[in-house]
Amino acid sequence: MSAPEKRALDPLPDSLRSFLEKSCGLPAKAFRSVTAPDLPESARHLLAHDRDMTSTLSRHHGGSLRVDILRQETRDETYLREVYLRLQPGDTVVEYGVIAISWKLFTEQQREAIGRGSGPLGGLLHEFRVPFTCSPAAFFAVAANLIPRLSTGRREDAECYGRYARLATPAGAILAWVVEILPLAPATLCLP
């Protein structure tokens, strides 16, 4: 008997998986697991590393990022939100993200700043001087048409690439789980 096939959402905690599917409308079956070497080069450059995406995207695009919160809710000690990260100046979407943040590991002042969208979580962690590590748990492709602002003017069968990453303290306490999806850009980011 063969081992069960690994599903793309397997690494995610239940609270984030549920929020992603029920609140954000992204069903588990929409995610296709890929390995880092199978990512197109431009997506691999932006996704296959152990840095936070805020710093990576800011450096890549040469500007700072702001958060556009689409929806948010708190379940027990977990703050969940769906966002677009946008390049400043301007309004270009550089990432779609869904995140589950462990509220108990942040002060009231930090939770307030995170909740009002003062900045992307990675940038706020640097601002708060919270030491953290970032570890990609899996890479995936997802149908671009499920995320409207990422698929504008593209073929119906185009896919966006992304990763699941875990942000943790140096001691290993989970600060957040993040689903990070790059927009379709040049054809190098979508499948033929």
93-112: pLDDT as tens digits = 999 999 999 999 999 999 99
Rg (alpha carbons) of the chain, rounded to whole number = 16
Q: Is residue 126 part of a domain?
A: yes
pLDDT class for 172, splitting at 50, 70, 90? Answer: very high
pLDDT at 191 over 50: no
Range of the domain at 140: 35-189
> Which CATH number characterizes residue 76's domain?
3.40.1410.10
Which of residues 12 and 77 earns the better pLDDT score?
Answer: 77
Q: Is residue 8 part of a domain?
A: no
Tally of domains in the chain: 1
Which of residues 188 and 84 earns the better pLDDT score?
Answer: 84
Structure tokens at 134: 């970032």
pTM: 0.87
Q: Average pLDDT, stretch 116-126?
A: 93
Q: Is residue 10 part of a domain?
A: no
Q: Using CB atoms within 10 Å of the CB of residue 29, give its burial: 0 to 12 exposed, 13 to 18 middle, 19+ buried.
A: exposed
Which of residues 5 and 22 earns the better pLDDT score?
Answer: 22
Structure tokens at 90: 């301007």
State the DSSP code for 18. Answer: H
pLDDT at 192 over 60: no
123-154: pLDDT as tens digits = 999 999 999 999 999 999 998 888 866 655 55
Write down the mean pLDDT value for the chain: 86
Beta strands in 17-88 (DSSP E): 31-34, 64-75, 78-88
Q: Is residue 26 part of a domain?
A: no
Q: Average pLDDT, stretch 61-79?
A: 93
Contact 67, 149 (CB under 8 A): no
pLDDT reported for residue 91: 82
Q: Is residue 30 part of a domain?
A: no
Q: Is residue 50 part of a domain?
A: yes
pLDDT class for 89, splitting at 50, 70, 90? Answer: confident
DSSP assignment of 120-179: -HHHHHHHHT---EEEEEEEEEEEGGGSGGGSTT--TT-EEEEEEEEEE-TT--EEEEEE
Residues 6+ apart with CB under 8 A from 112: none
pLDDT at 188 over 90: no
pLDDT reported for residue 114: 96
Q: Is residue 6 part of a domain?
A: no
Q: Is residue 97 part of a domain?
A: yes
Q: Average pLDDT, stretch 86-90?
A: 86
19-56: pLDDT as tens digits = 999 999 998 888 999 999 999 998 999 999 999 999 99
